[in-house]
Amino acid sequence: MTCAAPTRVIVVDPSAPDPHAIAAAAQVIRAGGLVAFPTETVYGLGANALDAAAVARIFSAKGRPANDPIIAHIANLEQLDTLADNAPAIAHVLARHFWPGPLTLVLLRRPVVPANLSAGRDTVAVRMPAHPVALALIAAAGVPIAAPSANRFSRPSPTTANHVLDDLQGRVDLVLDGGPTLIGVESSVVDLTIDPPALLRPGGVPFEALQSLLPGLVFTPRYLDIDGRGAASPGMLLRHYAPDAPLTMVAGERAAALARLRAEAIAMAGAGHRVGVLAFAEDIEDLADVPAYMAVLGPSADPEQVAARLFAALRELERARVDVILVRDPGRQGLRLAIWDRLVRAAEGRVLNVDRGP
Ligand code: TXA
Ligand code: MG
């Protein structure tokens, strides 16, 4: 269902949102409507998580397949036990360490959780976001808020209110504009209902930090075809973050990878393509003479900056109408694993590894 009225936008102070704005947004949530709001990771498309009809509106506004479950966002720990059945002790340990923050826990669900939120599974994903606007909205609504990233299905996640409007204008009742989000990649999703526990999606909390409290945690990237057969989490669909233009990642030692990226860019431009490069700051000078549009990610030594710019840079390349995109492998340590994951998915598996030879 689309909204009859155009989308309303209210600008809020991200650190101290106006209570009247929050009350108006909470009223929309309680009435079964959709509110897009900032979290510390990306903007979410929120609805009352306990209202199946409101949750259904999220799926149709996004064009999201019904088999992809949605995270319930909470503002206090009491809400965790209203959603999750018998959360194990480790869930509370992780919550104490990382909440509010970019960590989502998959737990057994209670019957109060609508089946469509969980896409028919017997689990529920829960997270307490670390953003004053998100926390104030959930508290004022008085219910957990279901929220996927506020983008159309398979588009890059939104890190500004304008990204939300680009995708969802007229499909969401209200957008709370709290400025750009801080982290820029989504939460880490950890499934505690399986043995060993698994990181389903790397995100804002690094794998290493999670492992220090949960030594048995495993991460097995299993990137699947678009039909998602056998997906542990439907969000592992390979095309999940696909930009309009095909993306290719060049992996390997920096000098060799950069030389290969240059050669690919020159060849593609020669073949008549509009080439875009997601470029690390330290590579810009070496690529200055390459006939390509550069979107700068920041220095590869600063993964926080790269993560914060990643999705905006992908959208910038789309606006520049490039028809192919090249990027150098960011590595996988710390927050880089989440960046790598989003790029490999955007690349749909197209990775050229210069260390492996031709
Ligand atoms: O940072 C974030 O997590 C953002 C902000 C808005 O909180 N939300 C977000 O939601 O990224 P979404 O829907 O774009 O991604 C949620 C991921 C998907 O990969 C989904 O398949 C997975 O979490 N997920 C949700 N519920 C699940 C469940 N019950 N079991 C397994 N995976 C689940
Ligand atoms: Mg998403």
Residues 268 and 156 in one domain: no
pLDDT in tens, 167-209: 999 999 999 999 999 999 999 999 999 999 999 999 999 999 9
pLDDT band of residue 51 (cuts 50, 70, 90) is very high
Q: Which of 34, 41, 67, 70 to mutate to test the pocket of ligand 1 (most atoms within 8 A of CB)?
A: 70
340 in any annotated domain: yes
Specify whether the CB–CB gap between 12 and 25 falls below 8 A: no
Q: Is the CB of 147 under 6 A from ligand 1?
A: yes
State what percent of residues in the chain have pLDDT above 70.
92
Closest residue to atom 6 of ligand 1, CA basis: 44
Closest residue to atom 10 of ligand 1, CA basis: 148
Residue 319 domain boundaries: 247-356
What is the value of pTM for the model shown?
Answer: 0.94
Handedness of CA 15, 18, 21, 25 (dihedral sign): positive
pLDDT in tens, 26-35: 999 999 999 9
Say how many C-beta atoms besides its own lie within 10 A of residue 138's C-beta. 27
Residues 186 and 302 in one domain: no
Is the pLDDT at 80 greater than 60? The verdict is yes
**What pLDDT is attached to residue 236?**
52
d(CA 291, ligand 2 centre) in Å: 32
Q: How many helices (H) and strands (E) does the chain have?
A: 10, 15
Domain at 64, CATH number: 3.90.870.10
d(CA 201, ligand 1 centre) in Å: 8
Mean pLDDT over 334-345 rounds to: 95
d(CA 64, ligand 2 centre) in Å: 9
Q: Is the CB of 39 under 6 A from ligand 1?
A: yes
Residues 190 and 286 in one domain: no
Domain at 266, CATH number: 3.40.50.11030
Residues 20 and 73 in one domain: yes
127 in any annotated domain: yes
**What pLDDT is attached to residue 223?**
60
239 in any annotated domain: no
Residues 207 and 257 in one domain: no
Type and span of the H or E element at 72: strand 71-73
Specify whether the CB–CB gap between 45 and 150 falls below 8 A: yes
Handedness of CA 101, 107, 113, 119 (dihedral sign): positive
Q: Which of 71, 152, 201, 241 to mutate to test the pocket of ligand 1 (most atoms within 8 A of CB)?
A: 71
67 in any annotated domain: yes
Domain boundary among 190, 211, 232: 211
Specify whether the CB–CB gap between 46 and 36 falls below 8 A: yes
Domain boundary among 211, 239, 273: 211
**What pLDDT is attached to residue 227?**
40
Residues 200 and 325 in one domain: no
Domain boundary among 211, 234, 269: 211
Q: How far apart are CA 64 and CA 101, in angstroms?
A: 25
Inter-CA distances, 241 with 12, 149, 163, 235, 238, Å: 28, 11, 14, 10, 8
Closest residue to atom 21 of ligand 1, CA basis: 235
Residues 207 and 268 in one domain: no
Q: Is the CB of 186 under 6 A from ligand 1?
A: yes
Q: What residues contact 272, with CB distance under 8 A and at least 6 apart?
A: none
324-328 sheet: strands from edge to edge: 293-298, 275-280, 324-328, 247-251, 351-353
Q: Is the CB of 41 under 6 A from ligand 1?
A: yes
Our count of domains for the chain comes to: 2
Q: Is the CB of 160 under 6 A from ligand 1?
A: no
Which residues make up the environment of ion ligand 2, defined by Cβ < 5 Å?
149
